[in-house]
Amino acid sequence: MALPRPRQLLPVGMVPTVAVLLACLAMPAQTDPVAAAAPSAPPSATLPAAPPVEEVLVSSPEPRYVAPTTRDRIGRIWAPVLINGRGPYRLVLDTGATRSAITQRVVDDLGTSVLPQPVRLRGVTGTATVQAVKIDRLEFGELLVEDVKLPIMADAFGGADGVLGGEGLKGKRVEIRFLEDRISIMRSHRQAAATGYAVVPFRYAVNRGLRVQVQVGSVKATGLIDTGAEVTVGNTALREALAERRGTREESESSVMGVTLDVQQATRARIPSIVAGQLIVRNANIAFSDLHIFEHWHLTAEPALLIGMDVLGMLDTLVIDYGLGELQIRSRRGRP
């Protein structure tokens, strides 16, 4: 279905919280072509002792997906979602998020009361505390999530109404056609990849993300597919392994800011290639930083790479089939 026009959002503040994990990052990025081989939150208030809190991960940096016209401007994917029968609201599709989240503007529009217990937001670069609401129904395509608690997050997406996370995606097939600006979610019928598509197997688990095996230059690493992230970021272990093999060049200093508005320092460098199955990304300029989220995912000791929209958005079509456990990818070079 075609995405609706963006709506104007009101700025929103953060308040004391329960625990929710959101991973979102933003930073200046330079992107390189992709080819397929076969084809604001104030400081957390002091709270009395509370029972263990759940965590929700959301990762995202630029708001909407726009078919790229330049190499340094890649947005994210917006999906039109009904909430309690209202909307549609534009939520950023975030495969790095364990749960969906919405802005205060949506809460006001729905007329929903906030829950008494706050939640903790865990982002790519840090944590913050926010309020949450209980939602009866969240719908998009064949995705239906009922009776769910959603954190209220700041409008860190430049106009999006929130984040569409991983709850409800088990057994689903997500198809994103970038050049047509279309997205669909349906039940997986374990359909094999069509002619002209490359296949990349993945493993998915809540709180572990959507993981693929990748090779960065000559270094094997764990890749995390994150449609909510604007830029691709490697951890320090990956940077050091590449440095030993002289696998990076043209380094420059930068920084990464997450949805909690915490900032972490980063180093940008050009790498020879990223290979995931039959997907090949050549001569990519990526960031390196020991992001807070790598520590949360226990990915500080081994080479790891968060693959964002600067890479994914250069594809023609991306299919994420949770039933099959595979990505089906068509490059723009392979487009008829």
Please state, in angstroms and rounded to a whole number, the distance separating the CA atoms of residues 288 and 293. Answer: 13
pLDDT at 22: 53
Digitized pLDDT (tens) for each residue of the chain, 336 residues in all: 444 433 332 222 233 333 445 555 555 434 344 444 444 333 344 444 544 544 444 444 333 333 232 222 336 788 899 999 999 999 988 888 878 899 999 999 999 999 999 888 776 656 778 899 999 999 998 899 999 999 998 776 667 898 898 888 889 999 998 888 888 899 999 999 999 999 999 999 877 889 999 999 999 999 999 888 888 999 999 999 998 877 566 666 655 555 555 555 668 888 889 998 777 888 888 889 888 888 888 899 999 999 988 888 888 999 999 999 999 999 887 554
pLDDT at 46: 42
pLDDT at 83: 96
pLDDT at 203: 94
Please state, in angstroms and rounded to a whole number, the distance separating the CA atoms of residues 284 and 69. Answer: 18
All residues at 6 or more sequence positions from 218 whose CB lies less than 8 Å from its CB, including other chains: 245, 247
The pair of structure tokens assigned to 52 is 């263990």
Instruction: Report the predicted TM-score, pTM, of the whole model to 2 decimal places.
Output: 0.75
159: exposed, middle or buried (Cβ count in 10 Å: 0-12, 13-18, 19+): middle
Residue 287 pairs in a beta bridge with 233, 268
